[in-house]
Amino acid sequence: NELQGASVYHLEFKIAEDMVHVTGAEEVRYTNTETIVLDEIQLRLFPNILGGEMQVTNLLVNGQAADPKYGLANSLMIVPLSNPLEPGQSVILKMDFAVTVPQEVTLNYGVLAYYDEVLTLAHAYPMICVYDDEGWNAEIPPQDGDVTYAETSFYLVQITAPKELTLVTSGQRLSSDEAGQDQIMNVANGPARDFYLVASPNFEEVTQTFGEVTVHSYARKEFVNGAQFALDTASKALDIYSKRYAQYPYTELDIVA
C-alpha cells in the first residue's frame, strides 16, 4: 500500500534440459511517478554485457506493436511511446525473451552463469531502468561490483524446469506441480529490486527457524557441513542485525552455495 506506483512484473521462465538456454515472457505495469511526461521507457538487457545473450521479441505497448531501439552494446532497449505517459499514468509492456547463459564465472562473480552444475539467474529478464534526477539512468557498469540500479518492484513468477532440479528463488513459493518431465513453480516476490533464481540437481537443504524467519541453506551434497555452518552463521547475523539495526523485513532467508 505504500508503493502504489511500483512496477509489477509478471514473469515466466522455462529452463531447458541443457541448463544454458532459458526462454521467457514478461508483462510489466510501469507507472510514471515523475513530475514530467515520459515519451519512452528504457529497459536493461544485462545478459548482453555479462558474457551471455538476451534477445527480445513480440514487444507490445498497451497491446500495440512497438519498434525498440538498442544501445550500450545491446544492453539497453529504448521503447518509444506513441502516447506520452503523463504523471500518474500507467502502461503495460509485454514481450518474449530468450537468454543464453554464460558458462564461466569471471564476470560479476557468477551471479548470472551456468557452472559446475549450478545455474544462477540474476537480472535475467528485461529490467526497467531507474528514472532519477539525471533522467533515465543507463550506462555500462563496471564489472567488479553490483551491475544493477533498480527500483523496488513486485513480481509474480512462474518457472518451468526439469523436475530433477532443486529450485531456489527470492520471494515465497505459492505452488508447485509436475507436468511430464517438468516441474512448475509459482512464486511471489517483493518489495524487491530484482528476482533471483538458482537451480541445481545436486543441492542438499538444511533449515532452521529464527523467530518468525525461516532460514534455508543449500549446497552440493558433499558440502552439507558447510551448508550447516552457513545456516548457523546466518541465524546469528539475523539476531545481531535485528538488535542493532532493524528487524529483518521478510519471512524467509535463503543462502545458496
Tens digit of each residue's pLDDT (9 = 90 or more) over 100-122: 999 999 877 889 999 999 999 99
**CB of 108 closer than 8 Å to CB of 50:** yes
- The confidence score (pLDDT) of residue 45 equals 98
As a whole-number percent, the residues of the chain with pLDDT over 90 amount to: 90
Output the CA–CA distances (angstroms, integers) from residue 248 to 103, 106, 209, in the order listed: 34, 31, 13
DSSP bridge pairs for 23 = 14, 98
Q: Going edge to edge, which strands form the sheet with 69-71?
A: 69-71, 76-85, 38-44, 127-128
DSSP bridge pairs for 120 = 113, 198
- The confidence score (pLDDT) of residue 145 equals 76
> Does the pLDDT at position 202 exceed 90?
yes
User: What confidence tens digit (pLDDT) does each residue in 11-50 have?
Assistant: 999 999 999 999 999 999 999 999 999 999 999 999 999 9
Give residue 123's pLDDT band: very low, low, confident or very high (50, 70, 90). very high
Query: What pTM was computed for the model?
Result: 0.94
Retrieve residue 84's grid coordinates. Answer: 506520452
Give residue 130's pLDDT band: very low, low, confident or very high (50, 70, 90). very high
> Does the pLDDT at position 144 exceed 80?
no
- The confidence score (pLDDT) of residue 150 equals 95
Which is nearest to 228 in space by CA: 239, 240, 219, 241? 219
Give residue 215's pLDDT band: very low, low, confident or very high (50, 70, 90). very high
- The confidence score (pLDDT) of residue 109 equals 85
DSSP bridge pairs for 44 = 76, 127
Angle at 95 between CA 147 and CA 30, to 5 degrees: 65
DSSP bridge pairs for 53 = 100
- The confidence score (pLDDT) of residue 210 equals 84
Give residue 2's pLDDT band: very low, low, confident or very high (50, 70, 90). confident
